[in-house]
Every structure is written in structure tokens, then in C-alpha cells.
């Protein structure tokens, strides 16, 4: 009997020891699980931190972010507005007595500037000279530049008719040179001196004027 009781006690001790060992194993398993989860979380964070700088460097040039993290708007320069270059017509009348430089718009209805030989020289005998023509053209060119005129069509005219000269006077060439020196672009030069072509007969009759 005593031996049986001893056997039972030993078996009970073994069972208790097994139960205790099982409980300890369960506790160890539970304690290991959070550690593994923490490790996995830490590893994922490290991987993200490695990848994040590359992503930032790739995103920054696209978004152009500043130091404060605010997107900087790139200001595109506005195209420069070109100045309008107007074209005018210069009517140059050069005779034996005077020079007239009269600039109008293309239609000829509006006068832009006008100058004569008598307004730029002192004596009457110098009104027809090339110097007077050059000074008159210079005065007109200054007004045209202020008004935005950059191109000119020049129409040269002499007295013409039956008794007048059939070509412009000597001051006409000085006017053209003065316009060119002042920076105006000359598109064309045309002689518009009125010349009769067998129309009306000259005064004096067939045998001329009787003195």
C-alpha cells in the first residue's frame, strides 16, 4: 500500500511539473511574438527610410519645393511686345527758289510733320540750297521718330509743267541723305514731277509771245 501511494504521489508531481512547463512555454511564446513584431516593424521603418530620400529627390525637381515645403511657382517671362513701326510718305518739293519737306500718312490725309527751307536758314537766297534741305529733313525726322515712324516712301517733285523744270532741284538729294543718316528706312524713291504729254498747249501761241 505504501508503495502505491508513493507511485501516485510521484505521478502527481510529474503531472504538475508538466503543467508548469507547458505554462512556461506558452509564456515564452507570447513574450517572443511581440519582440518579433517589433523587429518586423523596425525593419520596415528602416527600409522606408532608405527608400524615402530617393523618392524625395525624385519629387523635388518636379514640384520645385522650397525649404518651407511650399510649392514655388515658376514665373515665366512675358514675351516682349514689339514696338510698332509705322510707315509714312515724304513729299519733297525742290525748286529753284525753295525746299518743302511734307510728311503725311499713307493716305495723304493727315500731316505728321512739315518743314521748309525758309524755317531753317536766315537769308532768302539760302532757302534752295542743299544745306537748307538737309536741315529741314533733320527737323522732320526728329518729329517722326517721336511719333513712331521708322519707314518712309519718298516722292520727289519739281515745278514741272510747260515752263518749269522737269526734274527736282539740287536740294532733293540732300534731303534723302539726311533721312538715311537719321536712321529712317527708305522703302522707295519716286519722281512725281508733273510733265505734260501733249495735253494743253503752252501759253504764247504758235509764234510765241509778242514783245
In the chain, domain spans: 1-73, 86-191
CA distance 31 to 35: 7
Fold of the domain spanning 86-191 = Nucleotidyltransferase; domain 5 (3.30.420)
Which residues make beta-bridge pairs with 77? none
pTM over 0.75: no
Q: What DSSP letter does each residue of 137-156 carry, written as one string?
A: HHHHHHHHHHTTEEEEEEEE
pLDDT tens digits for range 76-110: 776 665 556 789 999 999 999 999 999 999 999 99
pLDDT tens digits for range 135-182: 999 999 999 999 999 999 999 999 998 888 899 999 999 999 999 999
Q: Which of 109, 107, 131 is nearest to 120 (CA)?
A: 131
Amino acid at each position: 500500500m505504501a508503495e502505491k501511494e508513493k507511485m501516485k504521489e510521484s505521478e502527481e508531481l510529474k503531472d504538475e511539473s508538466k503543467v508548469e512547463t507547458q505554462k512556461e512555454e506558452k509564456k515564452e511564446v507570447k513574450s517572443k511574438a511581440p519582440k518579433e513584431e517589433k523587429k518586423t516593424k523596425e525593419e520596415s521603418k528602416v527600409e522606408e527610410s532608405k527608400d524615402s530620400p530617393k523618392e524625395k529627390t525624385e519629387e523635388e525637381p518636379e514640384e520645385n519645393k522650397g525649404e518651407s515645403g511650399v510649392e514655388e511657382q515658376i514665373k515665366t517671362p512675358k514675351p516682349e511686345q514689339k514696338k510698332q513701326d509705322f510707315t509714312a510718305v515724304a513729299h519733297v518739293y525742290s525748286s529753284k527758289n525753295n525746299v518743302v519737306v511734307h510728311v503725311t500718312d499713307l493716305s495723304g490725309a493727315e500731316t505728321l510733320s512739315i518743314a521748309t527751307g525758309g524755317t531753317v536758314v536766315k537769308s532768302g537766297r539760302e532757302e534752295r540750297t542743299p544745306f537748307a534741305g538737309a536741315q529741314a529733313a533733320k527737323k522732320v525726322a526728329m518729329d517722326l521718330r517721336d511719333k513712331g515712324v521708322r519707314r518712309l516712301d519718298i516722292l520727289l517733285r519739281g515745278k514741272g509743267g510747260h515752263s518749269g523744270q522737269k526734274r527736282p532741284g539740287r536740294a532733293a538729294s540732300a534731303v534723302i541723305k539726311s533721312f538715311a543718316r537719321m536712321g529712317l528706312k527708305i522703302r522707295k524713291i519716286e519722281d512725281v514731277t508733273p510733265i505734260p504729254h501733249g495735253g494743253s498747249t503752252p501759253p504764247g501761241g504758235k509764234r510765241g509771245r509778242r514783245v
